[in-house]
Amino acid sequence: MKTLVRNIILLAAMVATFGTSTAVAQTLRDASYNYAGKIAPNGTVRNSEYATLGYFNNDGTIANAKGKTVGRIDGKMQIFNKDGERLGYVNADGSVLDGESKPLGKIEIKTGKVTDEGGKVLGYANGIAIQRVAAYFFFDFFN
């Protein structure tokens, strides 16, 4: 019961932190803070030239521009490839780890700054759920 209550509180905090209007796109920026693209309210990922890179679907699947499933995000903030192998996961503090629990980097919850394990800035993602940020920056689903 304690775990269920803790998970509900964590989910509520994440929704409050990352909740956006359904009419607002979620901005992706590169390390120099230049506009790199966005995630539309329907989950479509577009680059700065407005070309579709892929999709974050409501059921947790991640698809490429042709609609083919390339991965999945589950409710426990784990990220899987198309074969169901766990690539990594995101902790509630924004730390991103690979499938063997080795640090890959961090997503700063308040600022949206994304850094690798050495602290080098990879980019920025404002108003985006941290699992999607991790899939975009660390697991190259759309590169």
Contacts of 86 (CB under 8 A, 6+ apart): 78, 79, 80, 99
**Cα–Cα nearest to 7, from 133, 78, 92:** 92
Q: How far is CA 46 from the centre of its chain?
A: 14
∠ Cα 97 102 105 (to 5°):
50
pLDDT in tens, the chain (143 residues): 444 434 344 433 443 334 433 445 689 999 999 999 999 888 999 999 999 999 999 999 999 999 999 999 999 999 999 999 999 999 999 999 999 999 999 999 999 999 999 999 999 998 888 999 999 999 988 87
Domain ranges of the chain: 2-137
How far is residue 12's CA from residue 68's CA, in Å, rounded to a whole number? 31
